[in-house]
Amino acid sequence: MTRFFIFLLFPILAVCQSAVSDFELMVRNKQYEKVEPLLIDYVNNNPNNLKALELLGDTFGYQKKWDSAIENYNKLVELKPKTANYHYKYGGALGMKALSVNKLTALRFIGDIKSAFLKAAELDANHIETRWALVELYMQLPGILGGSRSKSLKYADELEILSKVDGYLAKGYVYEYDDEPELAEKFYKMAIIEGGSLTCFNKLTAFYEKEKRPKDAIKNIETAAGKLKRNALHYQIGKVAAEYNIELEKGLACLNRYLENYSAKDGVPKAWAYYRLSQIETLQNNKEQALKYIDLAISELPKIEVFKTQKEKVLKI
């Protein structure tokens, strides 16, 4: 008799699992507004389905609906208090909520944010994302609220044990935040040697730009382009050239190469490459070319304010 009832239950379980898989695919495809009411209805009828609850929390989070995301992740924490990732997501949603309100209101979230991340770290010694969150949290908090460079470096050390690349990047972040550029550069370079990913190169490039070292930024991007063969890096060279008024011919060549080889996976819309071309032509007092490129940019993305500002600048040449 028991086997008979189990047999009857299998199709129901299969349908439920299929529905959740469909929701997961919709979230992955960024169909947040479409999947949200479906998930809400499903969770109302299946309040203990952990995956559906998590997907609903993620959907709220992607839409910056932080109160609803917090509520869903808190339910997950209550249902499965020993799951590190639920505490991590709960803490992350609280953190984003804190960033969306005034500083005085944000203060009341800090204790819960810290507790959630620390609990996640305690529950899972291998949870990389939680350790990154703690590195950033302890660096950004004022000392009076528990901020501590030594604690940030402690979690950076833990990251280094789990992943040398993450550890080096975390230490680069700590030293950059604490205004020790030599040490920051050292660890970002170590991350490139260890991992060599686009993320590693981008961290060093951003550091050079922040330090007003555009020539080093371009050199680093060129090294990345030689190793990684990413078309998007041509845009990055053009961007630095345009913003810092250096190596303008190289910037023009790279932006044109970016446009010639452009595909949606490159990430930066063509309009921004046209904008950078217009900037460079403006720097060279080539009004006709500058106007041509900014008109192309505006035709593709007419609502971008900096494009309109650039056109006004061109017309004054």
73-118 pLDDT, tens digit per residue, is 999 999 999 999 999 999 999 999 988 888 888 889 889 999 999 9
Residues 53 and 62: their CA atoms lie apart, in Å, by 14
Question: At a CB cut-off of 8 Å and minimum separation 6, what does 166 contact?
Answer: 128, 131, 132, 159, 160
Q: Which two tokens stand for residue 234?
A: 């041509």
Residues 85 and 260: their CA atoms lie apart, in Å, by 43
Domain boundaries, the chain: 24-124, 138-229, 231-317
| Residue at token pair 């017309």 | 315
Number of helices followed by number of strands (H, E) in the chain: 17, 0
Question: At a CB cut-off of 8 Å and minimum separation 6, what does 284 contact?
Answer: 248
Question: Are the C-beta atoms of residues 68 and 46 closer than 8 Å to each other?
Answer: no
138-229 shares its CATH topology with 231-317: yes
Residues 249 and 251: their CA atoms lie apart, in Å, by 5
Residues 242 and 246: their CA atoms lie apart, in Å, by 7
Q: Which two tokens stand for residue 287?
A: 């009004």
One of 3.30.70.2860, 3.30.365.10, 1.25.40.10, 1.10.260.40 is the CATH number of 138-229, namely 1.25.40.10
Question: At a CB cut-off of 8 Å and minimum separation 6, what does 157 contact?
Answer: 167
Instruction: Give the chain's largest Cα–Cα span.
Output: 88
3-state secondary structure (DSSP) of residue 311: helix
Residues of the chain with pLDDT under 50: 1-16
Looking at residue 144, what is its pLDDT?
66
φ and ψ of 167, to 5 deg: -60, -45
Question: Are the C-beta atoms of residues 245 and 212 closer than 8 Å to each other?
Answer: no
> Thinking of the domain 231-317, which architecture would CATH place it in?
Alpha Horseshoe (1.25)
Question: Are the C-beta atoms of residues 88 and 74 closer than 8 Å to each other?
Answer: no
Residues 213 and 227: their CA atoms lie apart, in Å, by 22
> Thinking of the domain 24-124, which architecture would CATH place it in?
Alpha Horseshoe (1.25)
Looking at residue 22, what is its pLDDT?
84
Residues 45 and 31: their CA atoms lie apart, in Å, by 22
Question: Are the C-beta atoms of residues 59 and 26 closer than 8 Å to each other?
Answer: no
Amino acid at 203: K
Residues 27 and 237: their CA atoms lie apart, in Å, by 34
Amino acid at 45: N
Handedness of CA 132, 133, 139, 145 (dihedral sign): negative
| Residue at token pair 């695919």 | 25
Residue 286 has, within 13 A of its CA and on its CB side, a CA count of 13
Residues 156 and 174: their CA atoms lie apart, in Å, by 9
Question: Are the C-beta atoms of residues 149 and 178 closer than 8 Å to each other?
Answer: yes
Residues 111 and 33: their CA atoms lie apart, in Å, by 32
Looking at residue 64, what is its pLDDT?
93
